Amino acid sequence: MKRIYYGGDIVTMENEVETAEAVLIEDGLIREVGSLDAFESYMNDPAIEKVDLKGKTLLPGFVDPHGHLSMMGPLATMADLKECESFNDIQDTLTSYISNKGLNEGDLVVGFGYDHNFLKEATHPLKHILNDVSEEHPILIFHASGHMGAANDAALKMAGIDENTRDEEGGRIGRVEGTTEPNGYLEEGPLMALQSTIFADIDMDQVQLANLGQQIYIRNGITTVQDGATSSETLKLFKTLSDEGNLKVDVVTYPLVAENPDDMKNNEAYAKNYYNRLKIGGYKMFLDGSPQGKTAWMTEPYEGEESYRGYPWYEDEQVKQYVTKAVNDNVQLLTHCNGDAASDQLLKSYEAALQESDNPNKDNLRPVMIHCQTVRYDQLDKMAELAMIPSIFVPHTYFWGDVHLKNLGPERGNRISPARSAFDRGLVVNFHQDPPVVKPDMLHTIWCAVNRITRKGVNIGPEECVSVYEALKAVTINAAYSYFEEDRKGSIKPGKLADFVILDQNPLEVDKMNIKNIQVLQTIKEGVTIYSSEVLAK
Tens digit of each residue's pLDDT (9 = 90 or more) over 465-502: 999 999 999 999 999 999 999 999 999 999 999 999 99
pLDDT of residue 196: 63
Query: What is this structure's pTM?
Result: 0.92
pLDDT over 70 for what percent of the chain? Answer: 97
Residue 100: how many other CB atoms lie within 10 Å: 9
What DSSP letter does each residue of 267-289 carry, written as one string?
A: -TTTBTS-BTTEEE-EEEEE---
Distance between CA atoms of residues 190 and 260, nearest Å? 18
In the chain, list all ranges with CATH 2.30.40.10. 1-61+491-538
Measured distance CA(130)–CA(121) in Å, rounded: 15
Q: What is the pLDDT of residue 232?
A: 95
pLDDT at site 200: 60
The whole-number pLDDT of residue 203 equals: 57
CA distances from 360 to 175, 350, 357 (A): 50, 15, 8
The terminus-to-terminus CA distance of the chain in angstroms comes to 14
Instruction: Please determine, for residue 263, whether its predicted confidence score (pLDDT) is greater than 60.
Output: yes
pLDDT above 80 (res 285):
yes
Give the CATH superfamily of 206-489: Metal-dependent hydrolases (3.20.20.140)
- Please identify, in words, the CATH class of the domain defined by 78-200: alpha beta
Q: pLDDT digit string (tens) for 211-246?
A: 889 999 999 999 999 999 999 999 999 999 999 999
Average pLDDT, the chain: 95
Q: How far apart are CA 250 and CA 485, in angstroms?
A: 11
Q: Is the pLDDT at 538 greater than 60, yes or no?
A: no
**pLDDT, position 191:** 83
The residue length of the chain stands at: 538
Q: CA 210, CA 73: separation in Å to the nearest integer?
A: 5
Q: Which residue ranges does the chain devote to CATH 3.10.310.70?
A: 78-200
Residue 101 has pLDDT above 60, yes or no: yes
Q: Please say whether the beta carbons of 227 and 253 come within 8 A.
A: yes
Give the mean pLDDT of 408-434: 98
Question: Residue 8: its pLDDT value, please?
Answer: 98
Q: Where in the chain is the domain with CATH 3.20.20.140?
A: 206-489
Tens of pLDDT along 300-339? 999 999 999 999 999 999 999 999 999 999 999 999 999 9
Identify the burial level of 40 via C-beta atoms within 10 angstroms of its C-beta, where 0-12 means exposed, 13-18 middle and 19 or more buried.
exposed
43 pLDDT exceeds 90? yes
pLDDT at 75 over 60: yes
CATH architecture label of 1-61+491-538: Roll (2.30)
Separation CA 361–CA 357 (nearest Å): 10
Buried b / exposed e over 473-489, threshold 16 CB at 10 Å, is bbbbbbbbbbbbbbebb
Residue 535: which pLDDT band, with cuts at 50, 70 and 90?
A: low
